[in-house]
Amino acid sequence: MAPAVTKAVIPAAGLGTRFLPATKAQPKEMLPVVDKPAIQYVVEEAVRAGIDDILIITGRGKRSLEDHFDRNFELEYYLEQRGKIHDLGEIQALAEMADIHYVRQGEPLGLGHAVSVARKHVGDNPFVVMLGDDIMDRRCTVLADMIATFEEYQRSVVALSEFPIEEISAYGVVRPETVTDHLVRVLDIVEKPQPAAAPSNLAVMGRYVFTPDIFQALEQVKPGHGGEIQLTDAIALLLREQEVYGYVFGEGRYDIGKKLDYLRATVELAMDREDLGPEFRAFLAEIVRKRGLA
Ligand code: G1P
């Protein structure tokens, strides 16, 4: 039987220049969305989809990520002494969520290079890549759906969403061939094309399931868009050897790499929270009324 998908790779070595000055002295992955650092949403999503082995690709200045998912006995003792049992449970659960490993990228040579650093850890297994700029709310099952697709076809799967063509040049874009309602076969893929050159309006979102063959493709890739080793270019090579599929989804994704979308994510995720939601929604309604926004 083919091996199950139990490993995820989360590249987190980037400098976060789109979010300065907040990211000058702290990793962008640690920016809080409501009350959790962004990367925790990604790890929780992986765990929900059945992943139990996570490799985070880090770089300089990323130590707080490791601390976040580690035990903190001093804090645990403090919370226990004060009877803060709920907080204590949450903090302990964080360290036990999954088996989390770290490896450094060394030089920031691009997303494709960051993924290639995972090769030894992943070995000859299928694996998931999750980009931390994209976070999914709890209702979004795209990763589990992609893994199910992988299990059926035994081929790599990328997450896709439809975008207005004027926004398409921020993404990898595919030339699709329809298979079913949600599934396309990827016939070609290009990194950040100009709208006029885009093969469709289906953009690659930050979730991928790969056969281990992606590593051979990554070895052959030359610097591409922005002079970087692009994961998209490796996928373009891979699909010459074997089919690659795209799983099209719509709802539940927030791109927190952009300031405006980060604000949108914060508002929407806070509104959905059982503990904060009711009061926060009332506050928003009040603001809309006071400022004459509606
Ligand atoms: C990366 C990928 C791109 C993909 C995007 C999704 O770009 O290179 O193909 O569409 O993530 O968020 P980045 O956002 O890192 O520039």
pLDDT at 18: 83
- Measuring from atom 9 of ligand 1, which residue has the nearest CA? 172
Lowest pLDDT segment from 21-25, 147-151, 215-219, 227-231: 21-25
Atom of ligand 1 nearest to the CA of 257: 14
Atom of ligand 1 nearest to the CA of 231: 8
pLDDT at 13: 83
Q: Is 112's C-beta closer than 6 angstroms to any atom of ligand 1?
A: no
pLDDT bin (cut points 50, 70, 90) of residue 106 is confident
Residue 93 has pLDDT above 90, yes or no: no
pLDDT bin (cut points 50, 70, 90) of residue 231 is very high
What percent of the chain shows pLDDT beyond 90?
79
pLDDT tens, 29-63?
999 999 999 999 999 999 999 999 999 999 888 89
Atom of ligand 1 nearest to the CA of 14: 15
Q: Is 224's C-beta closer than 6 angstroms to any atom of ligand 1?
A: no
Residue 251 has pLDDT above 90, yes or no: no
Q: Does domain 7-255 fall into CATH 3.40.50.970?
A: no
pLDDT at 276: 96
Q: Is 205's C-beta closer than 6 angstroms to any atom of ligand 1?
A: yes
pLDDT at 17: 82
What percent of the chain shows pLDDT beyond 70?
99
Quote the CA–CA distance of 210 and 9 in Å, as a whole number. 11
pLDDT at 247: 98
Q: Is 131's C-beta closer than 6 angstroms to any atom of ligand 1?
A: yes
Q: pTM for this structure?
A: 0.94
Q: Is 232's C-beta closer than 6 angstroms to any atom of ligand 1?
A: yes
pLDDT tens, 118-172?
999 999 999 999 998 899 988 899 999 999 999 999 999 999 999 999 999 999 9
- Kindly report the average pLDDT of the chain as a whole number: 93
Q: What angle do CA 62, 32, 25 make, to 5 degrees?
A: 40
CB distance 117 to 103 below 8 Å: yes
Q: What tokens does 61 get?
A: 């200045």
Atom of ligand 1 nearest to the CA of 191: 9
pLDDT at 1: 61
Quote the CA–CA distance of 83 and 81 in Å, as a whole number. 6
pLDDT bin (cut points 50, 70, 90) of residue 107 is confident
* More confident of the two residues 22 and 8: 8
Judging by beta carbons within 10 Å of its beta carbon (0-12, 13-18, 19+), is residue 188 exposed, middle or buried?
middle
Residue 15 has pLDDT above 80, yes or no: no
Judging by beta carbons within 10 Å of its beta carbon (0-12, 13-18, 19+), is residue 55 exposed, middle or buried?
buried
Task: Give mean pLDDT, residues 222-226.
Answer: 94
Task: Domain ranges for the chain, please list them.
Answer: 7-255, 258-294
Task: Give mean pLDDT, residues 185-195.
Answer: 97
Q: Is 174's C-beta closer than 6 angstroms to any atom of ligand 1?
A: no
Instruction: Check whether the bond before 21 is cis (ω within 30° of 0).
Output: yes
pLDDT bin (cut points 50, 70, 90) of residue 71 is confident
